[in-house]
Chains A and B, each alone.
Chain A
Amino acid sequence: MEGNRSAFRLISNSLVVLMMTCATFTLLSLINNMTPEWKPWYLAGLCFFAATERMLTWHLFQRMGVFSKEWAFSFLAEWIVIIMVVKTSVGLSHGGEVFLAEIFLWVKNFIRYFVTLEFLFALAMVTTIWVISGYFARILDEMSSEQVYKQVEISGETIEQASARERLLSLIFGTGSILIIITALMRVDLGELSLKQGISLLNAIPSLQGGGASTVLYFMLGLALLSQTQLIELHNTWSQQKIPVSRPVARRWTFYSLVFLALLTAFISIFPTSYSLGILATMQYIFGIFFGILFFGTQVIIFVILVLLDLVFILFGGTRQVIRPPALPRQLPNLPTSIPGSSGQAGWLDVVKTLLFWSIFTGIMIFSINQFLRQHHEVLDAIRKMRTTRLLLKLWQWLLWLGLVAKRGIASTLTAGTTRIRKNGGASGYEPGIINFSIRLLEPRQKVRFFYLTLIRRAGESGLARKGSQTPDEFAASMKTALPGVDTEINSLTGAFVQARYSPAPVEKESADQARSLWNRIKAALKRKKSV
C-alpha cells in the first residue's frame, strides 16, 4: 500500500499542476481577448512553476510549526524566490536588453521601476495559483493519510467535517465553474452590446479556441484526479474495515481510468454539439414532409379507385373520363431559416444535425435523470408527495378510469348486440349465411317471417314470451289477451306467417308490405304496454 500511496502522490500532484496550468491558459485567453496587444502567455510557465513549487513544498511547511522562526524564514525565502522569478519573467518577456536596462533603473527608483502594473498582475495571478494549489495539496495529503472523516470543534460543538474527497470535488467544480464563466464571457462581445437592434452578441469564436480547449482539458484532468482519489478513498475505507485488498485492484486502476476517459472522449467527440436551427422549426419541417407523403399517398389511392370506376363505367357503355394521375410535389417544404446569430439559410444537413443533436441531448438528460432518481429514492418520494404531482396523478387515474369505463361500455354493447343477432339468427329459422343488414334485400316470404319473428322477440322483451310448445295460433291467443286493441292485426300477421312458413304457395310483395304495417301497429301497442 505504501508503494501505491507514493504513486498516488506523484500522479495526483502532477494532475493538479497540469490543471492549474490549464486554468491559467483559460484566464490568459480572456486577457488576450480583452487586450490583444499584450501577449501574456509566459505567465502560464510562471503559474506552472508556482503550482509545482507549492505541491512539493507543502509537506515541508506542514512539519514546521506555523509562525515559528523556522517557518517564517522558510516562508520569506520562498516568496523572495517567487517574486524574483516573476519579475525576471516579466522583464524578459520584453526582451533581454530591455530587462537589463530596467535593472539599472531599480537603483534610481526601486518602487517605481520594480513594482509595475504588469508585475503586480503577474504576481497576483501566481499567488492565486499558489493558494489554490495549496488547498489541493492539503486535501490530497489528508486523503493519503487514511483520514476518511474528520471531526472538528466549532464553538464547542463537535461536527463531522465533509470528507476530503467531497472538499476536493467542491474545489474542482468551484474552480471549474469560474473557468466556464470566463470562457463564456469570451463568447460575448461586450464592446458591441446593443439591445435596441437585438443584434446577436455572440462572437464567432471557433469552439476550441478562446479558452474552450483549456477548460475542457481542465475538467478531463479533474476527472482523472477524481479517479485517483476514488481509489485512495476506497482503500482508506477498506483499511478501516480491515478488509484485505488484492494487488490487481490498484495495478489495474490506472489502466481502467485511462480506458474510461478514452471512452468518454470518444463519446463527446462523436455526438454533435452545434445546432443552427430551433427545435420547433425543425419539428415543423419534419411534420411538413410527413404530411406531404401522407397526402400524396391518399391521392394515389383515390386515383386508383377512380380508374377502376371509370373502367366499370366504360363497360356499361359510358364514355371514358380523363383522370390525371397525382403529380409528385416539385419541391420539398421550405427549409426553416436559421435562428438569429447563425450563418444564413440552413441546409437539410443542418436539419438532420439539429434533430440528431436534440434527440441525443434529450436522451442523455432523460437517462441521467432516470439514473439519478433510481439512486435517490428520497427525491422521487419527495416529488410524489408534492401537491402538483398528486393532482396530476389523480387526473391521470381519472382519465384511465374514463377510458376503462368507455372500453367496457363499448365491449358490453357490442357483446349484447352480437348475442342478440346470433340468438335471433338461431331461433328465427333464418337460412344460415343470410346477413340481415337490409330487409329490402329479403324475399317477400322471408320478410313475412322476419316480421313475425320480430314480434316474438319483442313480445318476449315485453314480458309476453312465447313458450316453446305453443303453436302460432296459441301464441296469438295469448298475445290478444295481453294486447286487446290489436286483435285483428295479430290474427292477420299470424295467418301470413303460417302461409309463408308452411305453405308452398308463393307469397306476394303486397303480403310482405301488409305484414310490415301489421307489425308496426303491434309494435306500437307493445310500446304502449311497456310504458304502462
Chain B
Amino acid sequence: MLKYLPFLLLLLVIAIVIRDDFAFTLIYLFAGAFAVGAWWSTKSLGQIEHSRSFIEHSFLGEKVQIKLQFRNRGWLPVPWLKIQDELPVGLSTAPSFATVTSLGPNAETTYIYELEGRKRGCYNIGPLFLSSGDILGLIEEIHIQKPMETLTIYPRIVPIKAIRIPSRSPQGSLRYHQPIFEDPARIFSKREYIPGDSLRRVDWKTTASSGKMLVKMFEPTIELESMIVLDLDPNHYPYRQQIDSTELAIVVAASLASWISAKKQEVGLIVSGRDPSTSDGQPQSLSPRKGQAHLMRILEILARAVMAEMGELAEVIQQERVRLAWGTSLIIITGQVSDPLLNELYQSRRAGLEVLVILAGRVGQIAEITQRAAHFGIPVISIANEKDLEIWQK
C-alpha cells in the first residue's frame, strides 16, 4: 500500500481541487479495492475450520497416517489457500507437507499424508500454517498458525520367550524353576503318602475314593515384581558407541518391560537420563505396577528418554531402592559396572532385593566384570547388539 500512496495523494489533491466526480470515483475504486480485498482475505481465512487427526502413539517401523481436514464454514469463497504442515526431521524426508487449494462457500477438502516411524522419540507435528491473500495482490498475505501436536514412536520391542529373572517374592503366579516356594493354591499332581509327609498335604477326598493315602503336590511359583533401572549416562558406555549402546539399552528395557507385563507381573522403571518433556528434565520414575496402561506409560518414558550425564548410578539406586518391596527384582541395564555400583547392588541384595545386571553394547572386560559380580552373587548378562537378544527368544 505504501507504493500506491503517492498515486492516492495525487488523486486526492486533484479531487479536492477540481471537485469532480471522476476523481472521487477513482479514489473509491482504489480504496474500495484495498478495503474489499483486506476484508475478503481476513474474513475468508477466519472462516476456515481445520482439524488434524492421527494416532498419537505408534511403534517403530509403523506408518502413521495424518489426516488434515479443512472446511470453509462461511459464504465467502477462499480464492487460494496455502497449507503448510511442518514435519519432524527424523520422520520425513521433506521439511513440510505443503499444498495450495481453493475453497468455495461451505466447501470441504481433506489431505492425507504418511510418516514412517523410523526412530523412537517424541516428535512435533506442525505447526500448521494457513496463508491466503486477495485477488489483486494489493494486500500482503495473511497467515494464521495452528498449534503443534505430538507423535510418540515407541522403542522397538523384541519378543522374549524366556528369561530367568531372579526373584524372592513367594507365591506369585509365575512358575519358577526353584521349588523353594510352593503355592498351596496350585496343585499340579498327587502321589502316594510317604512317611514324613505333612498330614496337611493329604488329599482326603481322593484318599477316600481311591482307598490309598495320597498327598497333593504344589507348584512352585514366584511373584516377579521388577524394577528396571536404565542407565543413559553416555560416560558409562564405550565412547564411539554411545548412541548405539544407549539405544540398545532402551530396546532391552522396553522388551523386558513388555515381557514382564505380558506375564501379568508388576514392573517399574527408573531412568537415569533426561526427559525433555518434563519441566525439570528428570524422567518420571514409575513404581512397579501391573497392566497394559502402565506398560504404555513405561514405553512413553522410554520413547522420550535421551542421554544425559547424571553422575553415579549407585546413588540413584540407593535413593530409589528404599521404596521397593522386599523380594523385588532389580534389573540394571548399563554399559559399565563400577565398584560403587557393585557395592550398592550387594547392599540391595542384602536388603532383600534380587539383582540382575544387563550390560548393553560392546563392553570391554566382560569376563572380569562377570567374575566380580558373581563374587557378590549378582548375575550378569551381556547384550552386545540386538542379535544377542535372540538368546531370550529360545
Any B CB within 8 A of the CB of A165: yes
**Are B77 and A252 in contact (CB-based, < 8 A)?**
yes
Q: Is the CB of B20 within 8 A of A207?
A: yes
- CB closest residue in chain A, given B24: A273
Size category, A interface: 35 or more
Bits for B57-84, please: 1 = Cβ < 8 Å to A, else 0: 0000000000000000000010110101
Contact yes or no, A230 B28, CB < 8 A: no
Asked whether, in the complex, the Cβ of B101 is within 8 Å of the Cβ of A264, the reply is no
Stretch in contact with the other chain, from A66-74, A216-224, A318-326, A524-532: A216-224
Q: Does B19 contact A (CB under 8 A)?
A: yes
Query: Assuming A184-B18, A267-B36, is B7 touching A220 (CB within 8 A)?
Result: no
Known A-B contacts A246-B101, A256-B77, A260-B36; the reply to A207 vs B22 at CB < 8 A is: yes
A169 to B38, CA, bound (A): 18
Asked whether B25 lies within 8 Å of A216 as measured between CB atoms, the reply is yes
Using Cβ atoms and an 8 Å threshold, which residues of chain A touch B197? none
B180 at the interface (CB under 8 A from A): no
Q: Is the CB of B10 closer than 8 A to any CB of chain A?
A: yes
Instruction: State in angstroms the CA–CA spacing of A177 and B29 once bound together.
Output: 14
Do B137 and A230 touch (CB < 8 A)? yes
Verify B137–A226 contact, CB threshold 8 A.
yes
A227 partner, pick from B28, B31, B104, B136, beta carbons under 8 A: B136
- Residues in B neighbouring A184, C-beta threshold 8 A: 14, 17-18, 20, 23
> Is there an interface contact between B28 and A246, defined as CB atoms closer than 8 Å?
no
A208 interface residue per 8 A CB criterion: yes
Whether A273 contacts B2 by the Cβ 8 Å rule is: no
Which residues of A271-298 have CB atoms within 8 Å of chain B's CB atoms? Answer: 271, 273-275
B113 smallest CB distance to A (angstroms): 12
Min CB distance, B177 to chain A, in Å?
A: 62
Which residues of chain B (1-55) have a CB below 8 Å from chain A?
A: 1-4, 7, 10-11, 14, 17-38, 40
**Is B99 an interface residue, CB under 8 A from the partner?**
yes
In the complex the two chains form, what is the Cα distance from A513 to B143 in whole Å? 83
Contacts of B33 in A (CB 8 A): 223, 264
Chain A residues within 8 Å of B10, by CB: 177, 180
B393 within 8 A of A: no
Residues from chain A with Cβ under 8 Å of B99 in the complex? 243-246
Find out whether the CB atom of B102 lies under 8 angstroms from the CB atom of A252.
yes
Say yes or no for B89: interface residue by CB 8 A criterion. no
A365 within 8 A of B: yes
**Closest Cβ–Cβ distance, residue A282 to chain B (whole Å):** 14
Taking CB atoms, residues of chain B closer than 8 Å to A223 are: 29, 33, 136
Tell me, rounded to whole Å, the shortest Cβ–Cβ distance linking B266 to chain A. 52
B135 and A376 contacting across the interface, CB-CB below 8 Å? no
Contacts of A13 in B (CB 8 A): none
Is the CB–CB distance between A371 and B34 below 8 Å? Answer: yes
Contact assessment for B140 and A275 in the assembled complex, using a CB-CB cutoff below 8 Å: no
Instruction: Choose, from A78-86, A233-241, A446-454, the stretch at the interface.
Output: A233-241
**A368 close to B14 (CB less than 8 A):** no
The answer to whether B139 has its CB under 8 Å from any CB of chain A is: yes
Name the B residues within 8 Å of A144 (CB-CB). Answer: none
* Pair A243/B102 contact, Cβ less than 8 Å: no
Minimum C-beta distance from B108 to chain A (A): 13
Q: What CA separation (Å) do A275 and B24 show in the bound complex? A: 11
Consensus secondary structure, chain B interface: helix
Contacts of A245 in B (CB 8 A): 99-101
**Contact B38–A230 (Cβ < 8 Å):** no
Given A187-B20, A202-B19, are A267 and B135 neighbors across the interface (CB < 8 Å)?
no
Is B381 in the interface zone, CB < 8 Å from A?
no
Q: How far is the CA of A275 from the CA of B38 in the complex (A)?
A: 28
Contact B31 A219 (CB under 8 A): no
> Given A273-B24, A368-B35, A246–B102 Cβ distance below 8 Å?
yes
Q: B28–A273 contact, CB under 8 A?
A: yes
At the interface, yes or no: A379 with Cβ under 8 Å from chain B?
yes
Let me know if A24 is at the binding interface, CB within 8 A: no
Report the bound CA distance from A177 to B13 in whole Å. 12
- Known contacts A252-B102, A253-B79, A273-B25: does B135 contact A202 (CB below 8 Å)? no
Given known A-B contacts A226-B136, A233-B137, A216 and B82 have beta carbons under 8 A apart: no
The reply to whether the CB of B98 lies closer than 8 angstroms to some CB of chain A is: yes
Q: Establish whether residues A212 and B21, one from each chain, have CB atoms under 8 Å apart when the complex forms.
A: yes
Given contacts A177-B10, A246-B99, A367-B35, contact A376 B26 (CB under 8 A): no
Query: Once bound together, how far apart are the Cα atoms of A268 and B33, in whole Å?
Result: 10
A-B contacts, CB under 8 A, total: 157
Contact B20 A180 (CB under 8 A): no
CB-contact partner of B135 in A181, A183, A260, A368, under 8 A: A260
Residues of A165-182 contacting chain B, CB below 8 A: 165-166, 169-170, 173, 176-177, 180-181
- A202 contacts B1, C-beta separation under 8 Å: no
Residues of A within 8 A of B11 (CB): 180
Which chain B residues numbered 89 to 104 have a C-beta less than 8 Å away from chain A? 98-102, 104
**A123-162 interface code vs B (CB 8 A; 1 in, 0 out):** 0000000000000000000000000000000000000000
Interface 1/0s, chain A 325-343, versus B by CB < 8 A?
0000000000000000100
Chain A hits for B4, CB < 8 A: 173
Whole-angstrom distance between the alpha carbons of A244 and B83 in the complex? 10
| Chain B nearest CB, measured from A67 CB (Å) | 35
Q: A202-B18, A260-B136 are in contact. Are A268 and B25 (CB under 8 A)?
A: yes
The answer to whether A257 has its CB under 8 Å from any CB of chain B is yes
Within 8 A of B (CB), among A367-382: 367-368, 371-372, 375-376, 379
| Contact pick for B35, options A212, A248, A371, CB 8 Å | A371
Interface pair B1/A267, CB less than 8 Å apart: no
Q: Is A314 an interface residue (CB 8 A)?
A: no
Q: Tell yes or no: A12 within 8 A of B by CB.
A: no
Assess whether A305 is interfacial by the CB under 8 Å rule: no
Given contacts A230-B135, A368-B34, contact A187 B28 (CB under 8 A): no
CB distance from A367 to the nearest CB of B (A): 5
Instruction: Tell me if A494 counts as interface (CB < 8 A to partner B).
Output: no
CA distance A243 to B27 in the complex (A): 37
Determine whether A312 belongs to the interface, using a CB cutoff of 8 Å to chain B.
Answer: no
In the complex, what residues of A have CB within 8 A of residue B19's CB? 202, 274-275, 341
Is there a chain B Cβ closer than 8 Å to A41's Cβ? no
Q: Which residue of B lies closest to A369 (CB)?
A: B1
| Residues from chain B with Cβ under 8 Å of A372 in the complex | 1-2, 34
Note all chain A residues with C-beta closer than 8 A to B34: 368, 371-372
Q: Which of A177, A243, A253 has the most CB of B within 10 A?
A: A243
A364 within 8 A of B: yes
Closest beta carbon of chain B to A19's beta carbon, Å:
15
- Chain A residue numbers with a CB within 8 Å of B80 are 234, 249, 253
Q: Identify 26 residue pairs between A and B in the complex whose beta-carbon atoms are under 8 Å apart, listed by A's number.
A: A173-B4, A180-B11, A183-B22, A202-B20, A207-B21, A207-B22, A212-B22, A216-B26, A223-B136, A226-B137, A226-B138, A243-B82, A243-B99, A244-B100, A252-B102, A253-B135, A256-B77, A260-B135, A264-B32, A268-B29, A271-B28, A273-B25, A275-B19, A368-B31, A371-B35, A372-B34
What 15 new A-B contacts, CB under 8 Å, besides A241-B98, A260-B37? A177-B10, A184-B18, A187-B20, A220-B29, A233-B137, A243-B82, A246-B100, A252-B104, A253-B80, A361-B24, A367-B31, A368-B1, A368-B35, A372-B2, A375-B140
Closest 8 CB pairs of A and B: A207-B21, A212-B22, A230-B137, A273-B24, A268-B28, A273-B21, A245-B100, A267-B32
